Structure 1
Amino acid sequence: MSPTAIHEISAPTIESLKAQVQGKAEIPPWVRPPLTKEELPWAELETLDLQLLDSTDPSVRQNLIKAAKKALTVDGFLFVTGTGVSNEILERNLAIAQYAINGIPYEEKLPYAAKLEEGSYAGYKLRGIWKRDGGVPDNLEHYNLESTSFENPKEHHPSKLLPLIPEIESFARHTYFHVVYRILKLVSLALELPEDYLWGLHEHNGTLGHSCQRFMGYFPRDEKDEQATSGIWSKGHTDYNSISLLYSQPISALQILTPENEWRWVKHVEGAVVVNTADALEFLTGGVFKATRHRVIRPPPDQADIIRYILIHFARVRRDLKLNPIWDSPVVKAQGKNAFQDRIDAGGKAPTQDEWLRERIRRTGHELYDNDRKTANGRVEEEVLGRKVEYYV
């Protein structure tokens, strides 16, 4: 599928987004919280404008590709702008996230609880089902939508969400077919591949291929629980897909682990999307672009009592794709290694995206952090499908 075809698909999607806002269903608005006034150790991340991909000046494009390659190699995190999503649309979808998480009664969510034990996030991951340090229940809840959830909405969503599904679908489709597509185009060019190469490894059918759109909320906890968990809301980890997109919002809680092994805060950038590389992209690039270790901690004191609603999109390669390095890339060919070489040498094969995704989801929330397993730097390691995976405090 060519860039022209993708552009033709995505252009009316923006208009659809605008139309949905005009005729929106009535739900409580999302109220923008103030930025923190705390001076925090911020991560220094690149901000790249996706609109520069359309430049006719070769030097502009080359500088953009160079900056992307540096960001993906060093940090694995970057900001992108030029997404085609206005503040009005962003705030409306944060209101939908707020409603999906905090506006639907618990008993109406239960029939749509995700089958985590089967390796699926589709539906609700309900709050409090995982136990953290000291036996403290987790304080996060999310609602996950995949392409299949838009095919027969009445079977997949609570009745109170049904009037909002057209808006959700427009936003998810735009994120996938416009924003994800253009980011993958940039990453392909950074790998010295044809610009549509990585997009060709992703599914193009359905609202968002094999990807996942998530509405999520982190809820404040009391001081006792915060002390028991050292203020950590989601321990350091990598994501399981190709690239993850987080629409930037004002509450500071996300941290990344720098190459210097320091946790740094990710600052809010108005109108931007925070992008990070995930496991599948690390495997496909032979470790050239490493999956970024990140965590969520209690916000600074002036934001600590506010529910943090966020919008995330997890792009995934085709579920049947084996996660071997892309040797077509000169960069990967020169520097890459197969993450599953030991498994292959023993007569096995690299896992597919689906196998890796399901196994990691099954284990999520059940990591063991007892003192017998911790290393001196606080990390815990386990083997997943022949690959060592580290978790961080």
Structure 2
Amino acid sequence: MAGLKKLYEPYSTTPETTEKLDWAELVNLDLSTFDQPGGKKALAKQLKYAVHNVGFFYVSNFGLTQEEVDYQFSIGKKIFDLPLSEKKKYGADTKSFSYNGYTGPAVYEPDVDVYDPKHNIQSYNIPKFTSHFPGKVAHPPPVQQNWDTIERFAKTVHHNVIERLLVIFALVLELEDEQYFVKRHDYETRGEDHLRYMLYTARDEDVNRDAQELYSTGHTDLGSITLLFRQPVAGLQVLNNDGKYRWVKPVPGTITVNIADTLSLLSGRYFKSSIHRVSVPPPDQRHLDRLGVLFFIRPNNDVLVEVVKDSPLLKREGVYETLEERKDPLTVGTWVRERQKHIFKNVYDITDAGKGKEGQERDELEAEVAGIRIKYWN
């Protein structure tokens, strides 16, 4: 890891909150036990309740040093420190409903050269490192300069975390083929996974009040799983079964993982895709920018959106008895595109936090996307 200090910003030294918050109780999977005799089955047993009832959990001991993780935050900071005019050169192709590249308020309003202080979210997405996507020349200098480091990081996460979790999910469903989900998330096959650097810029108190104390309203993610690398500024909240949002604690040495909609669909909705949101940080951190490093994982584009067959667990739970058979096959590629159309339409049309253009409350609406009924809270 020689040379990391050249760009390193000590973001990890940001003090944690001392506020007394209502923290969610989440299970922590120690992935170092995965390859031990009986290890992965024990992890599946440990995770079973969480994937069905909570949808959020932690993983630890995932084979990356804290220095390697911290360096990814420094790369993200370097990207967002670029002038707006430079970032806009690498804007996502929003007309094609793509997330890859830079997104921020100015991307959706091309003539805007300054940010609306209420809309304080920026992100930069990098797709998989395969021949299906442009190479480093398509990215800004901080990404180009660190291309090999980012690629190693992304592929290590895929092997050490994602593939192991996919095996554990198959074991939870008691599938005979423990590689069932791994095969459907093959790294070299075309899929819309992406690494995201994300920044929530601190806002003035009057702006926070106007935005109902939220950076991001309640929503579910559309893919298989989302990974959020630990950073110390609290903000993430998950909606519990009692109808209350609880804070997700940034536990040192962990990645926060949540189940998303596509994996929930593949499991016959046995796996819970939890509603979550990003709150304004607690008072002692409210003046801090909240930088994030995330992975959004999706099945390969050619995978069918259909419930896994021959799961003894789903059979016992009566899941197969309530399934409605689709008339036309639906691939993940089509599903992702249609969901992204829906997200772009309903998220970026919002004029006030929690409300649509006509001012209707958006706490829990339903829609049909590609023939699938979904609820959304954007």
Inter-partner Cα distance in structure 2 for 1:36 and 1:339: 45
> What is the aligned partner in structure 1 of residue 112 from structure 2?
none
RMSD: 2.5
Inter-partner Cα distance in structure 2 for 1:139 and 1:389: 27
Normalization by structure 2: what TM-score?
Answer: 0.87
> What is the aligned partner in structure 1 of residue 348 from structure 2?
366
Q: Which amino acid aligns with 1:117?
A: K
Inter-partner Cα distance in structure 2 for 1:118 and 1:334: 42
> Which shows bigger deviation, 380-389 or 272-281?
380-389
Maintained 8 Å contact 2:259/2:271: yes
> What is the aligned partner in structure 2 of residue 26 from structure 1?
6
SS of the residue aligned with 1:198? helix
Q: Select which of 260, 263, 278 maps to 1:278.
A: 260
Verify: 1:93 aligned to 2:93, yes or no: no
Maintained 8 Å contact 1:217/1:310: yes
Verify: 1:182 aligned to 2:133, yes or no: no
> What is the aligned partner in structure 1 of residue 91 from structure 2?
113
The alpha carbon displacement at 1:267 in A equals 0.4
Q: Select which of 2, 21, 24 maps to 1:40.
A: 21
Inter-partner Cα distance in structure 2 for 1:232 and 1:386: 31
Verify: 1:52 aligned to 2:33, yes or no: yes
The alpha carbon displacement at 1:25 in A equals 7.7
Inter-partner Cα distance in structure 2 for 1:87 and 1:35: 16
Q: Which amino acid aligns with 2:26?
A: L
Normalization by structure 1: what TM-score?
Answer: 0.84
Q: Select which of 263, 269, 276 maps to 2:251.
A: 269
The alpha carbon displacement at 1:356 in A equals 2.0
CA deviations 1:95-140 (Å, max 9, x no partner) are 11111122x2222222211112312111011245579xxx974211
| Mapping for residues 218-367 of structure 1, pairs under 5 Å | 218-335=200-317, 336=319, 341=324, 344=326, 347-349=327-329, 351-364=330-343, 365-366=347-348
> What is the aligned partner in structure 2 of residue 205 from structure 1?
188
Maintained 8 Å contact 1:117/1:362: no
Unmatched tracts of structure 1, length 5 or more: 1-20
Identity of aligned residues (%): 32
Inter-partner Cα distance in structure 1 for 2:213 and 2:359: 22
The alpha carbon displacement at 1:338 in A equals 9.6
SS of the residue aligned with 2:20? coil
SS of the residue aligned with 2:285? coil
> What is the aligned partner in structure 2 of residue 68 from structure 1?
47
CA deviations 1:252-311 (Å, max 9, x no partner) are 100001111110100011110111110110000001002111110100011111111111
Maintained 8 Å contact 1:139/1:221: yes
Q: Quick one: structure 1 residues 195 and 34, their matched pair in 2 at CA, closer, same or farther if it must change by over 3 Å? A: same
> What is the aligned partner in structure 2 of residue 4 from structure 1?
none
> What is the aligned partner in structure 2 of residue 10 from structure 1?
none
The alpha carbon displacement at 1:379 in A equals 2.0
SS of the residue aligned with 1:142? strand
Verify: 1:196 aligned to 2:183, yes or no: no
Q: Which amino acid aligns with 1:26?
A: K
The alpha carbon displacement at 1:198 in A equals 0.7
The alpha carbon displacement at 1:33 in A equals 0.9
> Which shows bigger deviation, 174-183 or 331-340?
331-340
SS of the residue aligned with 2:125? strand
Inter-partner Cα distance in structure 1 for 2:104 and 2:130: 18
Q: Which amino acid aligns with 2:361?
A: K
Unmatched tracts of structure 2, length 5 or more: 110-115
